[in-house]
Every structure is written in C-alpha cells, then in structure tokens.
Amino acid sequence: MCRKTNIAVLISGSGTNLQAIIDACESGKIDGKVVVVGADNNNAKGLDRAKNRGIPTFVIDYSQIIKSFKDNQLPIDFNLKDVLSKQSIFDTESDPEKVKLFMMTRSVAEEKLFNTLSSFDFDLLALAGFMRILTPYFIDKVNKDRMRIINIHPALLPSFPGTDGYGDTFRYGCKVGGCTVHFVDYGEDSGPIIGQKAFEINDCDTLETVKEKGLKLEWELYPHCIQLFEKLYHHR
C-alpha cells in the first residue's frame, strides 16, 4: 500500500518555501503531506501559513536555550567526543572551547526538537529557511538508516555556503546565481546535491532583484526535489 510521504518542515522566517511545499502537496505535485512545522523562534511569520492550513506548529526557542544553558541540561545520550569527531562545521583553527560550547548548547535545543518532531512520524525533514546549524547529535538521531534531512540554500553550492547566499553571490560580481537543494550532512551546506536552478545576473540587477529571481526559482525547485525524494525512497 502506498502511503504519502510525511513531511516535517523547519523554518525561521517568512516561510515562502514552506508555502510552496504546502501548495505542491495540495495540488498533487508532491505525493506528500506536511504533518508539522517547527520554528526556532516565536516571531517566525511562516508559522501562520501552517496554522492557516490546520497544520500543527511548535517553537523551540533556541536563543533562550543557548542563553540559559547549564551543563546539567545535556541530553543523556549526548556524546561530546563523538560529535566533535564527526562535525565538519568548524575547522582545526577554531577555538576548541567555543566549538564545544556550540555543540553542547545546540544539543539541548536539538533534544527538544527531536522529541517534539518524533511524535509526528515524519519520513522527511525539510529545512526551509531554518537558520540554525544541526549537529551530528541531531542528524544521527533523525537519519538512522538513511539521509532524510534536506535543505534549500540560496546559492549554487558548493559556492557561497553560509547565511547570505544571494548577498555573497551578488557582491562577488557573479553573472549567474542560483539555488540548491541538498541533503544535510555534518558540515555547513556541504551535503550531496539533489537539484539546482540558475538565473542570470545582469548589470541592472540589485541585491533585491537577485533575491526575487532566486526565491521564485526556489519555489519551483524545492517541491520538485521533494518529489524526487518521494520517488526514490518512498514509492512502494
């Protein structure tokens, strides 16, 4: 029996990609269903997009958790040595104490994130403008048998990873920009690429028009790649 792919989505902001995913599920472009939407902050406007469609939502307040972090909150199954040996977000030049603190604070938030998501029986976790790095602690818990976390990034990876893909593309003077959907691995925007779309950048373009062109393509690319995932893993 075929069952639709249950999709969990994480956002941080306006959620236009989330909207594109919800619409594609409703129109049948994706054989899937958005079963839950989570955010890392209470002000994420995209939460209303989910609520408007009757999709359950939740917030894990990362800033608050990081601010009030204490050692004794570490998850019981958190293994610092294991996480440090796997992560490739920070290089060997980075301050080891900062890296340690980063992994520990995130694991506290990620335990709550994982526990909340778990009650929704999701097959795929789609990051849609979720502006938090996920650590190996969380990624291993979700992936188990195979990669099941994907992300949309506003640049043609492997160029311009990080938080400002369109800005970095534009300021570098690129004549072509684009967006990428990829699996999430232990690095920053470094996982296997599922799909990309590109657009031309002309002399008359501004950062604003570059973002507009890019977002329009994201809304096509993300549903397309989710449907590819569905076909690959979930069609029975």
Environment class of residue 57 by beta-carbon count within 10 Å: exposed (0-12), middle (13-18) or buried (19+)? middle
Nearest residue (beta carbon) to ligand GAR? 129
Hey, how many other C-beta atoms are within 10 angstroms of the C-beta on 110? 25
Contacts with ligand GAR, residue ranges (CB under 6 A): 11, 13-17, 46, 128-129, 131, 152-154, 163, 165, 215, 218
- 209/12 Cα distance (integer angstroms): 22
Q: Which CA distances in Å does 38 have to 82, 113, 119, 130, 190?
A: 27, 8, 13, 9, 23
- Kindly tell me which of 74 and 201 has the beta carbon lying closer to ligand GAR: 201
Nearer to ligand GAR (CB atom), residue 15 or residue 74: 15
Q: How far is the CB of 109 from ligand GAR (least distance, A)?
A: 17
Tokens found for residue 189: 């925007």
- Find the shortest distance in angstroms from Cβ 214 to ligand GAR: 6
Cβ of residue 150: shortest distance to ligand GAR, in angstroms?
A: 12
CB of 45 to ligand GAR, least distance (A): 8
Our CB check for ligand GAR shows the closer of 69 and 199 to be 199
Q: Which two tokens stand for residue 158?
A: 């492997």
Is 153 a catalytic site residue? Answer: yes
Q: Which is nearer to ligand GAR, 15 or 223 (CB)?
A: 15
Q: Which of 210, 213, 182 is nearest to 195 (CA)?
A: 182
DSSP string, 10-56: EESS--HHHHHHHHHHHHTSSSEEEEEEEESSTT-THHHHHHHTT--
Given the residues 153, 224, 234, 235, the one annotated as active site: 153
Catalytic residue annotation: 153
